[in-house]
A and B are shown apart, each in its own frame.
Chain A
């Protein structure tokens, strides 16, 4: 591993080591570029992942305080945890459930496609699907996505058999075990899936792709990576010319450090990425770094999510097997006759016993609540993953009344749901209930919207600098040597789980950065 001097102004600093930051670190270091990778969390490994759900949650989750507001259900049901992502080397690729579908061409033209809908801040992407396609192919190959590149699907679990039977009864055609970044056969030095069901706790076999045990060690092997764990970026600084020249961070002992930088890539997940830019205000950027448009933190999207559980007379043992390996794709279309624009996926889901009552079930207690739990063996689970509508006022702001461990204002997450979001959720819950009823469910239980795991669009790419924060390569409109390298850069969320798109955009960005550096433009 490289040791890069604090005074080395020729280094690239990447903040965050997840799908965006971890991939980018590998792509730049393998091209000979020196990278300082700052990660706020600790480094775990396949050996150290806890197999006790509550302990694993504490081991991997970003638990620093956030506040929230707005009318979304998360504010009521999970007041202290608006979003659920990781703080560990590998970022959220450590706990993700590995569903890796692509966005569809029309989803990249959201404003054109849904243009008639009021009260949104929709835009079209500055990139076409055609431009993105080869990077999707590269990302799928890199992650070993099933049903792509000749890789077979995962075998059907009990939970999926229930989903499949219900979906077929309703006439759905595109139903399969998903495009998953989980090895059905050994691949790329990683083992095959043994269907242990602990995807969210960190995959101990490594069958599930994560930057923790792919890109990051490979970046280390190049000799060009200086990974600094438990280092929290608190400010990005620029010189009199407006170009970024350093990152201020707190190290593991709480000591402030200053790393000089030739360019900086921010990949801290959409809440922290926006917060860091807002914290980095200056005389030149009084509204926050790269925020002359006022768009930093705005248009926050989290995708429409939620659980539906079916209770049957016979056992399902849903916890046995890959958590999310199943999908119905028929509803991932734009058909306004359903009463809403945009699409959604129906995905397989299960939760371990300790987590189900905390995250998966609606608020309740007494005999009725207990009777649902009594049926744990006989429960099958489904999850919605749909496109939510961007709104200018759904946004990340600094809450100056609540401070973090370093005395800095925490992020506030504000979401008021659009009527389209609510109509989509209702439709999805209805279809999922019908799937289970069609095959004899004794009862269907609709769960809450869990803390947001797909945090997106808070520094979005836009063709017009007034509409977003970054250009088609995730390069800040205001600052040439500042890049957005995570889900914050997505122009709109679409209905695809976002990790594959983040990796595809990162591969494209890495090419651009290395070309621009070689040309001396940045």
Chain B
């Protein structure tokens, strides 16, 4: 098998303590870079099992079944990176993972939800909720999954690319809208 592609290049080499891996989903933004290959995200401060528990937390918090694991792995990698630079965060995350127990990642969704509800007011939960929301929806995999097209300046905007292509409602009369910019 080919060498798995790293999802993010690190600024400098660090000792890898853990790893998250998965397969590139056909047709995803990752597949454009490395069709048919595996991906890997290395962890600096979290173990593989801690990273797997956090992946399960992220998937329970913002569950999008058809959004590939690689997107969630980027969330965990960002948390790992911050934890490696911030001792308090590192301790808090590791304690939070330990508190959820070894079986968390493999348990049924309803059990995971129940376990998280019990710790909803904790700093660990709130950090995980915020980080997941901040990072997950900013990944290229999420852009593709939700159909979000992102910046359009480089493509001339949406003016000629569907900003007004909705046809399931009546058109707006000209006096309440306005003309398209004149052709050059």
Using a CB–CB cutoff of 8 Å, the interface residues on chain A facing chain B are: 51-54, 146, 152-158, 160-162, 164-165, 175-177, 184-186, 192-198, 201, 204-205, 314-317, 319-321, 352-354, 356-358, 365-367, 369-370, 373-374, 376-377, 439
Contact = CB atoms under 8 A, between A and B. Distances in A.
A154 B177 contact: yes
A37 to B, nearest CB: 28
Contacts of A205: 153, 157
B153 A198 contact: yes
Interface in B148-171: 148-154, 156-159, 161-166, 168-171
A317 B166 CA distance: 9
Nearest to A198: B151
Interface residues of B, number: 46
Contacts of B151: 51-52, 196, 198, 201
Contacts of A320: 149, 152, 158, 161-163
Residue of A146, A184, A193, A320 ringed by the most chain B CB atoms within 10 A: A320
Contact of A370 (B64, B175, B180): B64
A176 B177 contact: yes
A194 B182 contact: no
Closest 6 CB pairs of A and B: A194-B157, A153-B178, A51-B151, A156-B177, A320-B158, A158-B166
B77 to A, nearest CB: 16
A376 B161 contact: no
A194 B166 CA distance: 17
Contact of A54 (B138, B149, B165): B138
Contacts of B150: 51, 352-353
Q: Majority SS of interface residues in chain A?
A: loop
A54 B134 contact: yes
A210 to B, nearest CB: 15
Contacts, number: 160
Residue of A53, A204, A319, A354 ringed by the most chain B CB atoms within 10 A: A354
Given A161-B171, A354-B137, A197 B152 contact: yes
A484 B77 CA distance: 48
Contacts of A157: 163-164
Given A153-B178, A184-B179, A353 B158 contact: no
A130 B113 CA distance: 61
A52 to B, nearest CB: 8
A358 B138 CA distance: 11
B47 interface: no
Nearest to A374: B64
